[in-house]
Structure 1
Amino acid sequence: MGERGPGPPVGLREGWGVRVGINGFFLSEPMTGSGQYTIALLRELRAIEGRHEFLAYDRGPLGRETGRLCALLSDPHRSNPAKLMFEQVGVPLWCCRNRVDLLHVPYFAAPLFGPRPTVVTVHDLIMLALPEYRGSPFVRSYMALACAAARRASLLIADSICTQRDIIRFLHVPEERIRVIPLAVDGSFCPTLDRAQLESVRRRYGLSDNFVFYIGGLDRRKNVSTLVAAWRHVDGPYELAVAGRTYSGDRTMFPDLERAAFEAGVTERVRFLGLVPEEDKPYLYAAARLFVFPSLYEGFGLTPLEAMRCGTPVVCSNSSSLPEVVGDAAELCDPHDARALAETINRVLRDPARQEELRARGLARAGQFSWSRVGRETLAAYKEVSNGR
């Protein structure tokens, strides 16, 4: 992209059109939530007609901005300092070189001294809401920097009202500087009636016709150990299929779920699938009798929405953002009470009419969330900032 000459930013000089620079750090990590958000947002923004430009600064040839940053990024032992340099030095310099009108950081890591008006998307504030997630001294310092930068931003985007409340509570940012723009899920999640495909995915993972599904993180806040403990009280021939991978050997953050299954006496009824490919997820949702999500804290909670888009009945936690995401289209329960969770699962599994009702409501509810809406509302936020509100 060529450099622009001196003078006021083109977008603010020639009627409303804007040149937005987007921190694309996670574009190369499409399996992460931040990566999926950034990719989908860029796609939708670029599909909107108008005199707008959307530039993404990724982890490509960064030498001109930050000198040795390329070498740092290629060294996994120095990844934390490299990421910090990318965010605090590389991004601001890139904004100046490309004369963007506005910077959007699509995750919680804005530059403290940004050269342009800045919009920051805050997906969640887990490390502030849950003390056990605050990590090492470096992580705590990094979070302090991210909090200070967010307070200086022109506008914050929250995925949910729950996250908006957390921003007000922990960052002390006034409500008028926060916009709530709910997320969406990819169009590949949809009901599947192809029995051969469903049978194929069940056979591949060694699952019966009667399985209940969980997919997501296996860390402590996801509360999968409570779901496993609840399984001893689940009636009938149902097995629990748990998909996800433990990313650390730290048992304080990643409980030993196989041991939990053994202690609950349900080893033969719980299957651990490991990390499953993205292309298998819609079929696993669709093949399941029920999807259960007992998480203690979510900034939004995409997986219940994915399940609903596949026509799968959902039981989920009544905590954090989840009630506002699922509305009346899921059975809610107390995630701290294993027996209550089991009773809720049993109630749905025993009642085919309730399952059909949840399928219909889930499909209708999921249809209210779209990436095109995310794109339009985000562009409106850019306009608000560029016009000085």
Structure 2
Amino acid sequence: MHIAYNGWFWNQPHTGSGQYIRRLLHYLRRVVPDLQMTLVLPPGYRSPEDLPKDVSLVMTSGRGGKIGKVLFEQRTFPQMVARVGADIAHVPYWGAPFSSPAKLVTSVLDVIPLVYPEYYATGFFGRLYTSLVRASARGSAHILTLSENAKNDIIVYIDMPPDKVTVTYLAADEVYHPRMGAERDAAVREKYHLPDEFVLYLGGFDWRKQVNQLLYAYSYVLDGHDVPLVIAGREPQWGTKRFPDMRAYADELNLSDHIHWIGYVDEADKPSLYRLARVFVYPSLYEGFGLPVVEAMASGTPVVANEIPIMEEIVGDGAYLVKDGSPRRMAGAIIALLLQEPLREAMITQGLSRATQFSWRKTAQRTLEVYQRVLNDS
């Protein structure tokens, strides 16, 4: 079996798609050491990082930018699939070609632009690209996605038959563990100038992440509990509909003296950051999976999140879920996990147990089953 992969996001490990393709190929290699894999790289990639053993590389040339991405997806990648003679073409993100010389498997990690088009499918190019990839996804022999919640949305918004969509859950990598690397943890604390105790948010800042809910909740926490809030993640250009200005909102709530904005965090530092936090808060309104929550649970850090369908599916009883997106209830959950040691220990134990139910080995095995099914359907 020979699989050719679209490698557009390979050198972007800070993105969900970049993390997904890297981990998937590494674990496919572990599960099937002799699986033939070819990674087709976009223009400009000359030194791919973190490449698994015995993965063939195909370099390409062409334009960059948005137009270059479409050309790579629709023209260059299919041409390279034909050239290497692959049995299956796997696009590990929502960007399938209309025509493929091999059986096409597409990973649709979420359908956020279809659920919230007013925020994520804006402008002429945004609307056009969303329409393009929605239509092209329907031509896939099979779609992989990350949760039952995402599968249901794919069935509704892309109009795919349920038997053509398979859930392959993500997982925390092995480095996310409650007892690993005290020296590393100390180095990370010093690198990012972290306080002795803190509550953590790590993630994006677009509208659906609901960082404003966390900030409002924190204004209640600070009424009686002076524990700093650390906000981690690459900051966007603030002040748009998609990215409301959270720094300005923090100023408006008089929180600035209590917040540490530490910016982008290196992948290697994330396990320590989770372990050092007293509580991890993830107030998102919508996710395809919600990997940071599983990473935090695997690190032995209690989690607070909103009670939304995807969080109920992924965390089960392994996190403190807040009803109705209420900032007051979120504040109460944070305070309870800071002060009530029995509750805190119970959440840590339940979170660790829940995190172990997900594994990249299972994800790789499930993906291989889909590959085999697609080939057999011919």
Match of residue 163 from structure 2: 176
Instruction: Judge conservation of contact 2:149–2:310 (CA < 8 Å) in 1.
Output: yes
Unaligned runs of at least 5 residues, structure 2:
46-59
Shift of 1:207: 3.1
Report the secondary structure of 1:227's partner residue.
helix
Residue from 47, 57, 62 that aligns with 2:30: 47
Give the Cα–Cα distance (whole angstroms) in 1 for the partners of residues 170 and 154 of structure 2: 17
1:111 aligns with 2:97: yes
Q: Which residue of 2 aligns with 1:211?
A: 198
Gaps of 5+ in 1: 1-17, 63-68, 74-78
Query: Which residue identity does 1:243 align to in structure 2?
Result: A
Match of 1:355 in 2: 344
Question: Per-residue displacement from partner, 1:278-301 (whole Å, max 9, x unpaired)?
Answer: 222111111111000000111000
Match of 1:142 in 2: 129
Q: 2:351 and 2:358 mapped to 1: Cα distance?
A: 11
* 1:379 pairs with one of 360, 363, 368: 368
Deviations 1:22-50 (A, max 9, x none): 11111122222111111111112122337
TM-fit CA distance, 1:371: 1.1
Is the Cα contact below 8 Å between 1:227 and 1:341 reproduced in 2?
A: yes
**Cα RMSD, aligned residues only:** 1.9
Q: Distance in 1 between matches of 2:180 and 2:107?
A: 37
Structure 1 329/267 Cα, relative in aligned 2: closer, same or farther at 3 Å? same
Displacement of 1:233: 0.8
SS at match of 1:312: coil
Q: Aligned pair in 2 of structure 1 residues 383, 112: CA closer, same or farther (>3 Å)?
A: same
Higher alpha-carbon Rg: 1
Q: Which residue of 1 aligns with 2:106?
A: 120
CA shift, 1:163, in A, is 0.5
Are 1:70 and 2:61 an aligned pair?
yes
1:223-242 equivalent positions in 2, closer than 5 A: 223-234=210-221, 235-242=224-231
The correspondence of residues 1-389 of structure 1 with structure 2, limited to 5 A, is 18-49=1-32, 52-59=35-42, 70-73=61-64, 79-131=65-117, 132-192=119-179, 197-234=184-221, 235-334=224-323, 336-388=325-377
Residue 54 of structure 2: aligned partner: none
For residues 180 and 26 of structure 2, the distance between their equivalents in structure 1, rounded to whole angstroms, comes to 29
| Separation in 2, partners of 1:384, 1:167 | 20
Number of aligned positions between the proteins: 361
How far apart in 2 are the matches of 1:225 and 1:165?
28
SS at match of 2:9: helix
Equivalent pair of 1:296/1:335 in contact (CA under 8 Å) = no
- The C-alpha deviation readout for 1:185-206, integer Å capped at 9, x for no partner, is 2222111366555444334433
CA gap 1:263/1:335 in 2 versus in 1, 3 angstroms: farther
C-alpha displacement of 1:350: 2.2
Q: Distance in 2 between matches of 1:190 and 1:355?
A: 17
TM-score (norm 1): 0.88
With normalisation by structure 2, the TM-score equals 0.90
Q: CA deviation at 1:20?
A: 1.2
CA contact (8 A) 2:238 2:246 kept: no
Verify the 8 A CA contact 1:125 1:167 in the aligned structure 2: yes
Q: Give the deviation of 1:133 after TM superposition.
A: 1.3
TM-aligned CA distance change 1:346 to 1:388, over 3 Å: same
**Cα offset for 1:369?**
1.2
Query: Aligned pair in 2 of structure 1 residues 71, 101: CA closer, same or farther (>3 Å)?
Result: closer
Residue 145 of structure 1, CA deviation: 1.1
Q: Give the % identical residues.
A: 36
Residue 241 of structure 1: CA displacement?
0.7
Contact 2:214–2:327, Cα closer than 8 Å, also in 1: yes
Structure 1 CA distance, aligned partners of 2:36 and 2:229? Answer: 47
Instruction: Note if contact 1:228-1:270 (Cα within 8 Å) is conserved in structure 2.
Output: no
Q: How far apart, in 2, do the equivalents of 1:335 and 1:308 lie?
A: 22
C-alpha contact 1:298 1:320 (8 A) present in aligned 2: no
Give the distance between the partners of 1:232 and 1:322, measured in 2 at CA.
24
CA contact (8 A) 1:103 1:117 kept: yes
